[in-house]
Structure 1
Amino acid sequence: MKKIFFALIILLFNIGSVFGGNSLRKGTCGALELIIPIGSRATAMGGSVVADTRGTEAIYWNPAGMANTEGTEVIFSYLNYIADIKYSFIGITTNLGNFGSLGFNTRVMNIGEIIVTTEESPDGTGEIITPNFIIAGFSYSRQMTDRVFFGSSMSVIHERIMQETARGVAFDFGFQYIPGVGGLKLGVVMKNIGPKIRFDGSDLDKNIRLPEDNPQAATRNVRLELASFEIPSYLQFGSSYDFKFDENKSFILSGSFRNNNFSSDEFSGGGEFNYKKKFMLRVGYSSSSEIEYIYGLNFGLGLSFDFGGNVLTFDYSNGQTKYFDNNQWFTFKLNF
């Protein structure tokens, strides 16, 4: 099984080299709501949790981690993102024993209202639009052996601006591996693999007179065809180590490398101190060679409460950004 696992990792690396990009391609993809991070635990650790993520948060970070879900877990996460963007995530995972774990999620991005302007009315036409960005996904994960975990996800993307809509699909594939060396864990995930997307709709129908037409000629009905765009795929791999001090206290140290298709590579690291699985302190940092990179230090905490055999957890994280107010994540988890 070890040979199969490492062969799959090599395959993912080779696929990543095919899709790999650099900062010169920045701004040439769309559907960026796919890569807005969710969940307070993972973001507080700088997004370095690809080897250690578990439960419903793993739907986003590495679906292989869903296999570690205990019972059923429901999550609601809310993000105050840059430029007053609001991002909500709701998800549920359930462990079905030998069959594996199933997960469902919905993500909604709200960028607020936009005043419509035209060439004739640069100060606004009086019309206000509210674009819609929604992702709905299904995930499956299974423990293949006592050391190997596999997971995959499919996300359906829906974007709407005025009368124009764009629809697409994205697939994620991930593995987690426990080598049996102390508290060491390894993980790899490839995210957002899918076809190009294109906007289309009735607002692209125009009645115009072509430059070569006779000035007295009637206008023609033409349809503008927009260019298609790729989605932001990336390959991320990482490791973590769980230091057990005693039965009440532990510390997880994690790190990861992320090869982005449409921007420079990213490095991240983080740590989590856990006391009796009731109180957690977290810190993380992410960096890139990109000059315009706006992220950096993250930190957060978590509190868990037992009641009636169920566990309610509140997590908070705060992420540093340049030029904007810091990102803030609020996450509520219920495990039953």
Structure 2
Amino acid sequence: MPFARFRFLSVMPVLGLLILSAGPARAQGTAGAYCLQIPPGARAEGMGRSFSAISDDAFAPWWNPGGLAFIDGQHAALMHTKLVPDLADDVYFEYLSYAQHLSGWGGIAATITYLSYGQSQATDGGQGDLGTFSSWEIAPSVALGTSLGDNLGLGANLKYVHLDLAPALSSTSNQAGKGSTFAVDLGALYRIPGAPVNLALVLQNLGPDIALVDEDQADPLPRTLRLGGAWQVVSQDVHSLIVAFDVDKLLLSDEGGAPPDTNFTPTWFDENEVLLNGGVEYSYNKLVSLRAGYIFDDPGEIKDFTFGLGVAYRALSFDYASIPQFEELDRVSKFSLSVRF
């Protein structure tokens, strides 16, 4: 049984569901490791995925590790999301993170990202039933952010990425849909002196391509450039209002069936690979937060609003977000729980 045939017949339909649920222009290229492409944190999602210039909690390693430079205390966060609940109940995403202030350095964090594709039916070339198997991806990481002066934070998030998409079910081949690689995120967060404005610059998923069968079939990681800004319009004991934006640029292209272009500069001028995200957050008495945003993703066919709600009680925070997906899929609800020590 040729592995490639088995892989595409049995696994790719499930991957296709996830690509559509991920939505961003990332899905338009050939990037692998989809677990790296799903944004964590219902707070950020509710704000239209515009969070790189905020990054003040345990989700900072994903959005902007430079934000860890200014983190205070200890933070832990958990997110669990069914990505396509209207199509598959066993396709879900989990993100677990712990971050804390490190005296004299800034902040450190450890995270685990897990993506389940659920179970698939295995068949041979003659459509014989070989049972079921589970497909999944995992990416643990460690991150560090440190400050240069009072206003500039720099950070890095080092990740180990492992994909286990299909077993070697052939008695004549030991090839399986498994692969591993390393990646790093680099981030900077700048707080403009004398103004309630933050600016962000992030490079995500820089690292070697990931191969599941052999190096000739390796897929590039979803390398992304992100620019962001956040303005604290109102900052009072009772009322708080934040306006934020993110511009994401996938640093890959796959036009006309050509191999992906990993030269960063040319792809910046291709509007088909740019995402525009914006959002607002209003908080009352640091207890209740209302959020709204907008995702403009033309190639991913997502042009719609996001909505979110946050409730905080003492050290605990619960966040909810309603997120649009590819136009043929229903909106998805995302939940996350955070605690500050």
The alignment's TM-score, normalised by the length of structure 2, stands at 0.79
Q: Does 1:256 align with 2:246?
A: yes
Residue 86 of structure 1 corresponds to which residue in structure 2? Answer: 92
Output aligned runs, 1:172-251, within 5 Å.
172-200=185-213, 227-244=217-234, 246-251=236-241
Contact 1:30 1:232 in 2 (8 A): yes
Residue 108 of structure 2 corresponds to which residue in structure 1? Answer: 102
Aligned mate of 1:125, from 116, 124, 129: 129
Residue 134 of structure 1 corresponds to which residue in structure 2? Answer: 138
Aligned mate of 1:328, from 316, 320, 333: 333
CA–CA distance in structure 1, aligned partners of residues 332 and 247 of structure 2: 22
Q: Number of matched residues?
A: 285
Any idea what the Cα deviations from partners look like across 1:73-128, whole Å, max 9, x if unmatched? 1111111213532000001001112122110010111111101123201xx51411
Contact 1:148 1:177 in 2 (8 A): yes
C-alpha displacement of 1:226: 5.6
**One-letter code aligned to 2:228:** G
Select the structure of larger CA radius of gyration. 1
Please give the secondary structure, in 2, of the residue aligned with 1:286: strand
CA–CA distance in structure 1, aligned partners of residues 130 and 303 of structure 2: 36
Residue 289 of structure 1 corresponds to which residue in structure 2? Answer: 298
Residue 157 of structure 1 corresponds to which residue in structure 2? Answer: 161
Residue 35 of structure 2 corresponds to which residue in structure 1? Answer: 33
Moved over 6 A (4+): none
Residue 281 of structure 2 corresponds to which residue in structure 1? Answer: 272
Unaligned 5+ runs, structure 2: 1-24, 169-175, 254-272
Residue 75 of structure 1 corresponds to which residue in structure 2? Answer: 77
**One-letter code aligned to 2:111:** N
Any idea what the Cα deviations from partners look like across 1:30-74, whole Å, max 9, x if unmatched? 112211111011111111111112121111111111223221111
CA–CA distance in structure 1, aligned partners of residues 130 and 56 of structure 2: 48
Residue 55 of structure 1 corresponds to which residue in structure 2? Answer: 57
CA–CA distance in structure 2, aligned partners of residues 24 and 251 of structure 1: 30
C-alpha displacement of 1:26: 3.0
Residue 179 of structure 2 corresponds to which residue in structure 1? Answer: 166
RMSD value, Cα: 2.0
The alignment's TM-score, normalised by the length of structure 1, stands at 0.80
**One-letter code aligned to 1:261:** L
C-alpha displacement of 1:180: 2.1
Q: Call closer, same or farther: CA 1:24–1:166 in 2, change over 3 Å.
A: closer
Contact 2:26 2:222 in 1 (8 A): no
Q: Call closer, same or farther: CA 1:226–1:162 in 2, change over 3 Å.
A: farther
Please give the secondary structure, in 2, of the residue aligned with 1:95: strand
C-alpha displacement of 1:225: 7.1
Any idea what the Cα deviations from partners look like across 1:121-169, whole Å, max 9, x if unmatched? 1xx5141110121111010011221111111101100111214210011
CA–CA distance in structure 2, aligned partners of residues 268 and 288 of structure 1: 8
Aligned mate of 1:115, from 93, 110, 121: 121
C-alpha displacement of 1:297: 1.5
Q: Call closer, same or farther: CA 1:155–1:317 in 2, change over 3 Å.
A: same
Q: Does 1:42 align with 2:44?
A: yes
Residue 3 of structure 2 corresponds to which residue in structure 1? Answer: none
CA–CA distance in structure 1, aligned partners of residues 26 and 119 of structure 2: 31
Percent of matched pairs sharing the same residue:
24
